[in-house]
Amino acid sequence: MKLIKGEPIAEAVYEDCRREIAELQSAGVTPGLAVVLVGEDPASKAYVGAKDRKCQELGLHSVKIEKPESLSQAELIALIDELNADESIHGILVQMPLPDHLNEDEVIMRISPAKDVDGLHPVNVGKLAMEDPTGFAPCTPAGCQRMLIESELETEGKHVVIVGRSLLVGKTLALLMMAKGKGANSTVTVAHSRTKDLEEVTREADILVAAIGRPCFIGANHVKDGAVVIDVGINRVDDATKKRGYRLVGDVDFDAVADKCEAITPVPGGVGKMTIAMLMANTIRACRLAKGV
């Protein structure tokens, strides 16, 4: 069984980023990313902080904007309009989830598709479906695909089963894996909570992706021998033996499944490491497209 660790693959992405940033800076351009946080959600604050630190470490122009939970929809839209017009900003990310009184769909629609490095604007989803290279794929699915490529795991002609149909992962990863090209050319099935005989469906997978947000849901009965398993889930479960009172687990029961697999991602330390890496890569590509370099 091969363990697909995210950190060394993310570092390979960062090496590419450093080289591209140096090339752009030599041409007088520095890629810029603005991250907007509304409210005090601890997980979101930690994630935004990690993005900001990575930008600074790589040498990107980083703008971290923190607003109170009382921010109105009109104020948030006005802020996005300012960032859309700012030529020093090439990527805009509004950290989700937003407070309940804010309309996330309207926020996503307001971000310029050319700066939508989270890949959620309908224009970018459409470009992904059309295999238009000027679009942006969401960072987590792009990270999953990069892990398969860097691990030299064959995808062409393989049956990929994705459990989870969110736009953030399931639907967009299906588009990536169906496309023509490296790390793709797969036959894809998207399963979800209403899928009948789910275990039978997932046992057909050469590559099984779990992205449903249910801790340790995928067990040995879901996985055929020799499958590749990509676990996108990150869930907190109570654990009195841990100082924090909890531990992180994926959507896959790792101990039950690992011995059956050709390869598997761990949680933590797997797909989660890739999301920020692909955000940096998307921001650099947005800069190149904007500047024509």
Active site residues: 51, 95, 118
Pairing of strands 246-249, 235-238: antiparallel
| Rounded CA separation 152/181 (Å) | 14
| Rounded CA separation 17/103 (Å) | 33
Structure tokens at 256: 């039950």
Angle at 212 between CA 215 and CA 14, to 5 degrees: 95
Single-letter code of the amino acid located at 120 = L
Report the sign of the C-alpha dihedral through residues 72, 78, 80, 86, in that order: negative
| Rounded CA separation 286/268 (Å) | 29
| Rounded CA separation 261/1 (Å) | 6
Residue closest to 225 by CA, chosen among 258, 195, 255, 252: 258
How far lies 3's CA from each of 110, 158, 262, in Å?
40, 20, 9
The answer to whether the CB of 250 falls within 8 A of the CB of 210 is yes
The answer to whether the CB of 36 falls within 8 A of the CB of 6 is no
Residue closest to 236 by CA, chosen among 215, 253, 256: 215
